[in-house]
């Protein structure tokens, strides 16, 4: 039962007390009437009664009615998925996709954070040949013949172009995710690529996590890769995924080409 406010408790008590007093006076009145009721004065008594009609008393509210009038208590819907300013609620479900298919409406983050030899990097986001699953995959190419800095990489960002970390509602709260998983393969095999997530360290709203899987040597065949996340702080993830390639780890090659598909957070 919900708690009744102090004022309403007093109303209940005074209502009950008033009802008790009314009954006492009514019973006392009935006793006097019997003593005065002598033969011959019945008409007088009737006349007095007619001259002073009884006024019906306002019905006192019952305890049940008072309880019904009490404002409802706020009901808890469980722990909040938001952890304060700058944190967005996560999308529900067992899988949170970064990339599923090119036209999939449930993709999150934008591969907009190009770094290093960005002009030597190209992508086909809707590559339809030899995909891992679904209708498309992503084909990434780093042309080492155009290198200047000797490395390149791309961050998947939210929102697009978020480099300074000063956007309050940027990123996603992915607390509870157990791992980032993705499928990858190299074009010829032996390509060395680093993968990871998080890492934005600047501004008022930086990432709360940084995790990398370095030096992954690719095969020509598709393989599932897992980056464990249990025990990490995932309350704000603005860089949802990333890859980097170091040209020195891929010596003797003119280009590094690899394919990505099914990038997702699993709960």
CA distance linking residue 210 with residue 194, whole number of Å = 13
Report pLDDT digits (tens) over 95-146. 999 999 999 999 999 999 999 999 999 999 999 999 999 999 999 999 999 9
Q: Specify burial of residue 143 (Cβ count, 10 A radius: 0-12, 13-18, 19+).
A: middle
Q: State the pLDDT at residue 16.
A: 39
**Token code pair at residue 40:** 């011959």
pTM, to two decimals: 0.68
Average pLDDT of the segment spanning 181-194: 98
Q: Give yes or no for a contact between 218 and 140, defined as CB atoms under 8 angstroms apart.
A: no
DSSP for 155-193? EEESSTT--S---TT-SB--TT--EEEEEEEESSS--EE
pLDDT in tens, 55-75: 455 555 443 443 334 333 333
Cα–Cα distance for residue pair 47/56, rounded to 1 Å: 19
What local confidence, expressed as pLDDT, does residue 54 receive? 52
CA 248 → CA 151, 162, 215, 219, 257, distances in Å? 8, 29, 12, 19, 15
pLDDT at 38 over 80: no
Residue 85, C-beta contacts closer than 8 angstroms, at least 6 positions apart? 168
pLDDT at 94: 86
Comparing 55-64, 87-96, 143-152, 178-187, the range with the smallest average pLDDT is 55-64
pLDDT digits (tens, 9 = 90+) for 77-90: 222 334 434 445 45
When pLDDT is averaged across residues 252-266 and rounded to a whole number, the result is 98
Q: In this structure, which long-range contacts are made by residues 30-39, counting pairs with CB atoms below 8 Å and at least 24 apart in sequence? A: none
Distance between CA atoms of residues 62 and 212, nearest Å? 67
């Amino acid at each position: 039962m919900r708690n009744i406010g102090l004022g309403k408790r007093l109303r209940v008590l005074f209502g009950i007390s008033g009802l008790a007093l009314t009954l006492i006076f009514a019973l006392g009145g009935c006793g006097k009437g019997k003593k005065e009721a002598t033969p011959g004065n019945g008409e007088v008594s009737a006349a007095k009664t007619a001259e002073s009609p009884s006024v019906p008393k306002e019905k006192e509210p019952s305890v049940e009615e008072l309880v019904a009038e009490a404002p409802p208590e706020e009901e808890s819907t469980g722990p909040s998925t938001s952890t304060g300013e700058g944190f967005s609620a996560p999308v529900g479900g067992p899988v949170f996709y970064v990339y599923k298919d090119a036209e999939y409406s449930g993709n999150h983050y934008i591969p907009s954070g190009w770094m290093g030899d960005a002009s030597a990097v190209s992508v086909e986001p809707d590559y339809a040949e030899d995909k891992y699953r679904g209708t498309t995959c992503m084909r990434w190419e780093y042309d080492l013949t155009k290198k200047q800095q000797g490395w390149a990489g791309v961050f998947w960002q939210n929102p697009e172009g978020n480099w300074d970390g000063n956007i309050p509602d940027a990123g996603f709260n992915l607390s509870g995710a157990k791992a980032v998983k993705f499928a990858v393969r190299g074009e010829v095999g032996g390509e060395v690529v680093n993968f990871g997530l998080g890492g934005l360290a600047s501004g008022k709203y930086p990432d709360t996590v940084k995790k990398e899987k370095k030096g992954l040597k690719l095969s020509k065949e598709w393989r599932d890769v897992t980056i464990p996340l249990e025990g990490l702080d995932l309350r704000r993830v603005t860089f949802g995924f990333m890859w980097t390639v170091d040209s020195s780890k891929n010596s003797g090659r003119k280009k590094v080409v690899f394919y990505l598909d099914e990038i997702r957070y699993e709960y």
